[in-house]
Amino acid sequence: MQAAIYIIGAGAIGKALAVFLQAAGKEVILLRGRALQEAPHTDLLKVELADGTIIEERIRIHVLQDFARLEGLIVLANKSFGNEAIARILKDKVQESPVLLLQNGLYIEKIFTDSNFPSIYRGVLLATSQLLPNELIRFKPVSPSPIGEIKSNINFLPRIIEELSNPHFAFRAEEDIDPFVWTKVILNVVFNSVCPLLETDNGIFNRDPTALGIARRVINECTAIARLNNIILHPENIEQTLLAISRSSEGQLISTYQDIIAQRRTEIDTLNFAITKQAAALQLNEKVTETKLLGELVQLKSSLSMRPTLSP
């Protein structure tokens, strides 16, 4: 694996990771996943840490079409609903290079396994990041983010951890990534539905017993479906993690709420609806009623936000 790190997705996580890696001396190229016509350029990006420190770097920004081949580590930090299009573009560009999905969602790697990518890894983000005005990104880590292998002809995992870990955004290797993926998806189901619907920040579960009660019921629904997929998770452990994230990201807006405010498409299909799809396959639709309802409400809220308003 060559030294270059290609980060696809110029959102809050992609930009923060690019800044941290370049500040650590790595060769970083930030790629917009969806833009088809854009000249390569350099942007000054600033990341605000939890203690108020600001780290800034001038980051090279391209589009995927600028490169015939990508030799190095390819990190996907784009929204997971774009993976089908990204996979088509990447198929002939990556050769043997490893692809790391640093995204939210359940079974989002399937398009890459179905397309026979040789080396696929999944990371589970244990950090929050929010785009603010004037190209400022507010970043708050929770704990080192685990990365595990989905499939690979070569064991790239130790090198991936070495390449990505930095003083501000830590990563660690995990032999069995599936329980961590399910845990994060369940947490995202809670944060990415309740917070946008209440139009509030991540700290609501730490502040409000009623919100925590809703979270508890959703966690119970989702862990039951996980168990039937041979993923054994304990609801009380997930609740404690939820509270820890809620406390540490007080004032931070979850990505789905940010997307709704910005009139962008959300990732709810790979969160709430991915869980309900698993339940439907088991003929257990009645076991995920709150998870489904919250997803439907977020989907409706998102569609209403993107619908043009009529002039009087």
Q: Distance between CA 3 and CA 284 in Å, rounded?
A: 47
| pLDDT on residue 33 | 72
33 touches 101 (CB < 8 A): no
Are 166 and 140 spatial neighbours (Cβ–Cβ below 8 Å)? no
Handedness of CA 224, 226, 231, 236 (dihedral sign): negative
Domains and CATH numbers, the chain: 5-175 (3.40.50.720), 179-306 (1.10.1040.10)
- Mean local confidence (pLDDT), 215-238: 97
Position 73 pLDDT exceeds 50: yes
Angle at 40 between CA 34 and CA 43, to 5 degrees: 90
CA distance 211 to 209: 5
Q: In percent, how much of the chain has pLDDT > 70?
A: 96
How would residue 213 be classed by pLDDT, with cut points 50, 70 and 90?
A: very high
226 to 125, 128, 176, 267, 276: CA distances (angstroms): 19, 24, 15, 19, 11
Average pLDDT score over the chain: 93
pLDDT score recorded for residue 75: 98
One DSSP character per residue, 235-252 reads HHHHHHHHHHHHHHTTTP
Residue 1 has pLDDT above 70, yes or no: no
pTM for this predicted structure: 0.90
Q: Facing residues of 29 across strands?
A: 6
CA 168 to CA 144: how far, in whole Å? 10
Q: Given this model, what pLDDT does residue 308 score?
A: 66
Which two tokens mark 173?
């290797």
Work out the angle at residue 44's Cα, subtended by the Cα atoms of residues 40 and 48, and round it to the nearest 5 degrees: 140
Is the separation of the CB atoms in 72 and 2 below 8 Å? yes
Instruction: Compute the average pLDDT of residues 185-202.
Output: 97
Examine the pLDDT at 311 and tell me if it is beyond 60.
no
Task: Select from 225, 218, 193 the least CA-distant residue to 302.
Answer: 193
Better-scored residue on pLDDT, 36 or 258:
258
Give the pLDDT band (50/70/90) at residue 123.
very high
Strand-pairing partners, residue 59, are 43
Going by pLDDT thresholds of 50, 70 and 90, the confidence category of residue 239 is very high
pLDDT of residue 14: 95
What pLDDT is stored for residue 65 in this prediction? 85
> Mean per-residue pLDDT for 292-310?
88
pLDDT of 162 strictly over 90: yes
What pLDDT does 2 receive?
A: 44
Q: Are 100 and 125 in contact (CB under 8 A)?
A: no
Question: What are the DSSP E strand ranges found in 78-220?
Answer: 99-101, 120-123, 127-132, 136-141, 145-151, 171-173
- pLDDT level of residue 310 (50, 70, 90 thresholds): very low
Average pLDDT over residues 257-286: 95
How far does CA 43 lie from the centroid of its chain? 23
